[in-house]
Structure 1
Amino acid sequence: MFHKLFFYEADVPWILRRSTRTFKDPSECTEELITMLKVNTQVLCLMQHQLCEQSRPFEELKIGYFNQFAKCHIKKLLDIAVCLSETVWSATHICPMLLAYEALMDVLPLIQKFASSESDDFFSNILRNMREAFRKLIGHIKHFIQSNMEKHLDDVAIHPMTCFLICSIKSFGSHRNLVQSTLAPGDNSSSFGHLLYDVITCWKSVLTEHSNIYRADLQRQYIFLLNNAYHFNTKTDGLLDELLSDRQIIKQHDDEFKLLFKKWTESYTEEACTPAKSCLNPNCWWGSQRRSLVAFTSKFNKTFDRQKTWKVPDVVLRQIASGDIYTTETLETTVQGFFEG
Structure 2
Amino acid sequence: MTELLETTSSSAAQPHSARRGWLGIGIVTAGTFTVVTSEMLPVGLLTPMRDDLRISEGTAGSALTVTGLVAAISAAPLTVLLGRFDRRWVLCGLMAVLTLGNLAAALAPNFAVMTAGRVLVGLGMGGVWSLAAGLAVRLVPTKSAGTAMSVVFSGIGVASVLGVPAGTYIGALAGWRAAFFAAAGLGMLVLLAIAVALPALPPTGGVALSGVLRLVRNARMRTGLLIVAFLVTGHFAAYTYVRPVLEQVASASAAQIGSLLLVYGIAGVAGTFLAGTPSVRSPRTTLITVSAVLAAGVLLLPDWAARSSPRGSSSPSGASPTAASR
Question: TM class, shorter-chain normalised?
Answer: under 0.3
Select the structure that is richer in helix: 2
Query: What TM-score, normalized to structure 2?
Result: 0.24
Query: What TM-score, normalized to structure 1?
Result: 0.23
> Over alpha carbons, which structure has the higher Rg?
1
For CA contacts below 8 A with separation 6 or more, give which structure has more relative contact order. 2
